[in-house]
Structure 1
Amino acid sequence: MSVPLSILDLSPLVSGETSPRPALLRTLDLARQAEQFGYHRYWVAEHHFTPGVASSQPALLLGQIAAVTDHIRLGSGAVQTGHQTALTIVEQFGLLDALHPGRLDLGIGRSGQAKTEVLREQRKHAAPQEERVVDGLLIPKPFSWAPIFASKRTALASSLLSQPGAEPLGLAEILDQIEALLAGPVGDGDGNEVVAVPGAGADLQLWLLGSSGGESARTAGARGLPFAANYHVAPAKVLEAAEAYRESFVPSPSLSAPRLMVSADVLVAEDDETARRLAAPFALWVHSIRTGFGAVPFPSIEEAQGYEWTDESRALVKDRVDTRFVGSPRTVADKLRTLQRVTGADELLITTIAHDHTDRVRSYELLAKEWHS
């Protein structure tokens, strides 16, 4: 029996658009249709200062999606804990749960925490790695984000995402606060208590997301939480992340055994040739991310065809392009089953971007029909 399929949506703009409104309206349309196609969850991302991505405030966007859907689970992939307090996160998702009870996933990640800490963690768990194939699954060479983290643009963005002098809590500390506020009330030991309203008692499913076998994977395991590993952003580290999560897992009241979700970039069309043609702009889009300027509005096929690639620029995007699953419904479903088998995933999280919204929706529809047939 196939594992569930879920969706991660960035609300992408496309070339020629200067307003986020069309991208957000497309998200609402896609969510409605995804529910009809039989997808299990619909998650939205949190990205800031990214010209081609409109999903910057997950809780606000999820409220809009919840209002136009009926039963599909909704969540964040992921709330960046370095930019908010635990109370803000709990109140936002507590409000969503109060209005749409039992449907919300609170997915959180370390993005936005001190970059030096994240880079130190990456170096600690880094090992020399060449491209390899593991039981049919391509595991590429790792990509280093260090130059982007060190850029002046990143420093400017970081300065605007937090109060002057504020220091983000570590993952363990903010998780402690989130779990305490959800359980509520919270006391100081001297008889004083506060309660998050809304938030306390909210029926949220808490997830951690991670791109390596570092702190996020190990913390999710140690706390008995479900974990989502990135094959679409950091394909080189997906097996490491899955292994670290399972090795660290301790049963909790909410989860008796590990629950792993793995993400994948996907594009499906009626046949392989059509899919490859529609997929052409993806490399150019990834290149905009990897050069540190943030994702541009998704290019058209014609814009992609006119781009002059160098060996250096191709190398910059190779891991993402080579690990994107592109083709007919059967071709892509077979590749997803390989990903699921090799990682042992209990669920797959699919993200699809195309220049034309009709092609994007059709990709999700074709995949769902093939997967559930």
Structure 2
Amino acid sequence: MPSEPTLGGLLHSQGVSRRAFLKFCSTTASLMALPAGIAPAMAEALASARRPSVIWLSFQECTGCTEALTRSHAPTIENLLFNFVSLDYHHTLQAAAGDAAERALEEAMHANKGKYLVLVDGSIPLMEYCSTVAGHSNKESLEHVCADAAAVINIGTCSAYGGIPMAKPNPTNAVATGDIIKDKPIVNVPGCPPMPLAITGVIAQYLTMGKLPELDHLGRPVAFFGENIHDRCYRRPFYDRGEFAETFDDEGARKGWCLYKLGCKAPIAYNACAHVKWNNSVSFPIQSGHGCIGCSEPRFWDMGGVYDSVAKGNFGDGAKLGAAAIAGAAAGASAAYLARRKKTEIAEGAHGDE
């Protein structure tokens, strides 16, 4: 049986030029905040590598994460799936079904023992047999497939932190992947759904660098989740001037003022939405006129109402912390946050006197 061809040989056979390949590596380096000069070394390492086996497990989810991945544009879904990885198992995208699908899973695990990546989409219910695949509970499937994996990548907030299925009252006793798998490297790519470039960027770095990216304290790639949305938002100057929309159709909303009072969670959310954006970098929720709901944060669905302002202080799983403590901790600069709030209050008072 012939061995798996190298990625370089595969790309060459498909007419991909070295120039195009270097451009891809430069794009990847930029996405992951790596030095641009590393691109040639990445290209050399990647060209001699063999495609890693990828097994995608879907549990309690809505298929939104797969939908997000198919809308990635750099690298494209076609390049990612059919050139750079061997996607050996995926409920939604695979052609096989039934016994043939499960046989493909076992063959991929056996042939790539200790080397394959597991991508998990959806939370895992601990209530026995409320969700099964091929007669096995989601927990059993996860433990079985992850046993010989090289690493696990959680795709979306449901697998990373439990997501909406874990929201109160959590009828299926849903948990996150990390609550079950303790002995494997895990990367969380949260979001409801996650940003396509965050998914492909993590996989691309693993392929080109042979290692997973730097992570923050919540297991998220720093390159995509290292900055506060509020600090990168184009509406931030309005916030600093104390100019807030009071309703979604008032004069302030029409002028593009800050949506903080309408429930925007950008001050407590970390993600790349404000600068990477969605739909081929066309827009993101705040630009479209709706506040951030903080979907990349743990327990976001239980953190107060979607349209409740952070200032009400109902955020944090019953902790009832004050807004300054929450937003300050999220921004990593409590004093700076309080100073900005004071400035806003002064501005609001001045407007009220007019």
Fold conserved between structures, TM > 0.5:
no
Greater share of strand: 1
- For normalisation by structure 2, the TM-score amounts to 0.32
Q: Which fold has the larger relative contact order, with Cα–Cα distance below 8 Å and residues 6 or more apart in sequence?
A: 1
Which of the pair has more CA radius of gyration?
Answer: 2
Give the structure-1-normalised TM-score.
0.30
